[in-house]
Amino acid sequence: MNLNIGCIAGDGIGPEIVREARKVLDKVADKYGHSITYTDILMGGASIDVHGVPLTEEAIAQAKASDAVLMGSIGGDTTTSPWYQLEPSKRPEAGLLAIRKALNLFANLRPAVLYEELAGACPLKEEISAKGFDMMIMRELTGGLYFGERKTIEENGVKKAIDTLAYDENEIRRIAVKAFDIAMKRNKKVTSVDKANVLDSSRLWRAVVNEVAKDYPEVTLEHMLVDNCAMQLVKDPAQFDVILTENMFGDILSDEASMVTGSIGMLASASLNDSRFGLYEPSHGSAPDIAGKGIANPIATILSASMMLRYTFDLDKEADSIDQAVKQVLKEGYRTGDIMAEGCTQVGTEKMGDFICERI
């Protein structure tokens, strides 16, 4: 099979971690008889430096022409980088929001897994972490507050800012269907998270999710209010399988869930549309403070490449080989600085990539 992959290396540690993920993909392709064509795509600060904007029409066209896009991370230090002197719509993050919208990437999958080998990094009490957890946060990605009408006006000399939270039933239905489909391949439980005690958009969310659930009799559905969910994530994360939620709640809860694993440098993500296309990126940011030092953890990006093989290309065996190699390297005690523990061997970005390749 020929895999046509767009590559957004991006900013900060992006280029170094994408380099390692590509190395791993090349190894997999070599072993299983596939070929890969990469197209480099500029986005974020890297695009601003060249074109003055975080995403060009050409970049969108390149992404659309690819089967899938592998991304590192975008953005810089918001207090010191000149990118943040620009108006908000020209900053690096605007490029990310724009590509999600342009490619209709409405389903964001963010797995939060407590790796057995890294249980010590979990900040929760041992009696909670001992149970382990493995959840998939499904965040709606192209609607809600982040894409609603917004403006800042002045009324009688008083400034007023307005953001709009709107969802129509079709937007809710399509992400709910994806969540139930994914639950069917996992532990068959969906927790739909909303604020239905206050928000109309949440009440519609709940009604539509209930409707979709009728087509999935094997899946257990529960509804949970978002504030309660924030508590439950630290109290008893093992109760969750698939968490289904709207854009902003998902943004916040997925950061919380990743922190609870204690190893955000390990967490992958996928943003999908209705076709097999997907944009795959680590859940962590661009870490400008350690960029170029060769110490960043490439595993989240490598696992994002594995998700790409699984979800876009249906290459489960190949994806498993990456996941197994990562586990093996951890078992052998190799760690980057962010997940370093007593008795382990600390390695840099490149070595970590090499070790994973060798075990594929």
Separation between Cα atoms, residue 344 and residue 258, nearest integer Å: 22
Q: Cα–Cα distances in Å, from 106 out to 91, 142, 154, 163, 304?
A: 22, 5, 33, 20, 17
Q: Which of 93, 134, 256, 323 binds ligand IPM (CB under 6 A)?
A: 93
| Shortest Cβ 93–ligand IPM spacing (Å) | 4
| Shortest Cβ 108–Mg ion spacing (Å) | 10
Q: Cα–Cα distances in Å, from 17 out to 20, 282, 330?
A: 5, 9, 17
Separation between Cα atoms, residue 28 and residue 319, nearest integer Å: 9
Active site residue 146: yes
Active site residue 316: no
Active site residue 227: yes
According to DSSP, residue 110 is labeled E
Q: Which of 24, 96, 260, 339 binds ligand IPM (CB under 6 A)?
A: 96
- Total residues contacting Mg ion by CB under 5 A comes to 1
Residue 97, binding choice from Mg ion, ligand IPM, none, Cβ under 5 to 8 Å by partner class: ligand IPM
Is residue 338 part of the contact set for Mg ion (CB under 5 A)?
Answer: no
Q: Considering beta carbons, is residue 32 or 147 the nearer one to ligand IPM?
A: 147
Give the x-and-dash track for 239-268 against ligand IPM (CB under 6 A): ------------x-----------------
Residue 246, binding choice from ligand IPM, Mg ion, none, Cβ under 5 to 8 Å by partner class: none
| Shortest Cβ 212–ligand IPM spacing (Å) | 24
Q: Which of 251, 281, 318, 338 binds Mg ion (CB under 5 A)?
A: 251
Active site residue 255: yes
Separation between Cα atoms, residue 107 and residue 194, nearest integer Å: 16
Tell me the angle at which helices 14-32 and 349-358 cross, rounded to the nearest 10 degrees.
Answer: 10
Separation between Cα atoms, residue 204 and residue 279, nearest integer Å: 28
Active site residue 241: no
**Residues ≥6 apart with Cβ < 8 Å to 325:** 24, 356, 357, 359, 360
Write out the catalytic residue numbers. 146, 195, 227, 251, 255
Chain positions contacting ligand IPM, by CB under 6 A: 93, 96-97, 251
